[in-house]
Amino acid sequence: MKTMSTASKTALGGMAVALSVVLMLPTAFEVFVYALPAIAGILTLFCVIELGRAWAFGVYAASAAIGLLLIPNKEAVVMYVAFFGYYAILKAIFESKLPRVVEYLLKFLVFNLSVVAAYALLVKVFGMPLNQVLGLEADAAWSSYAVPIFLAMGNVVFILYDFCLTRVATAYIKVLQRKIHQRFRFK
């Protein structure tokens, strides 16, 4: 199969950027603060598959910049910028070149550093109180344990997210990719 032209890659990348930003718009509803940036991150996965890592990084950078300007819920955008937007690119790199143990160690390291950095940014730069970011009442009895508990729960969810990204990529390549290429006459 021939590669796509630069114009086709630009058009596909532009559509991925626009869809990523549109997906994050409903994050004004608190229930979507983490789910929609995670779903928007899946678009980066498709860009890695169809366009390559360099183009996928461009899609991430553009959607992150536009998201920071347009999305009212900064917590959602910070989560996209700090982790969900670029994780699919790193996942592709880690899984193609590294032994399995090193791959998982790096994945967990990146996730934990990203989450801690994201919350530090929300608290220090955006001035959000930590209890508000974590969704706690200010006088919650267990609030001193909240950070390690939320980080542990986040790691469990991260395992599921990584697993789901693998399944989505596999399903796309095995089931949809050929059909989409035929339908839109990719070259």
Question: HSE on the CB side for 161, CA within 13 Å?
Answer: 25
How confident is the model over 157-174, as a mean pLDDT? 96
pLDDT at 7 over 70: yes
- Residue 1's pLDDT band, with cuts at 50, 70 and 90, is very low
Considering the domain boundaries, does residue 122 fall inside one?
A: yes
- Specify the number of domains making up the chain: 1
Considering the domain boundaries, does residue 1 fall inside one?
A: no
Q: Which residue has the higher pLDDT, 93 or 128?
A: 93
Considering the domain boundaries, does residue 61 fall inside one?
A: yes
* Helices 6-24 and 35-51, axial angle in degrees (round to 10): 170
Considering the domain boundaries, does residue 70 fall inside one?
A: yes
The CATH code of the domain that includes 134 is: 1.10.1760
Q: What angle do CA 42, 62, 45 make, to 5 degrees?
A: 20
Its pTM stands at 0.88
State the Cα–Cα distance between residues 163 and 168, nearest whole angstrom: 9
Query: Can you give the residue range of the structural domain that contains 167?
Result: 6-184
Residue 46 CB contacts under 8 Å (≥ 6 apart), including other chains: 16, 172
Q: What is the pLDDT of residue 139?
A: 59
Select from 92, 127, 85, 91 the least CA-distant residue to 108.
91
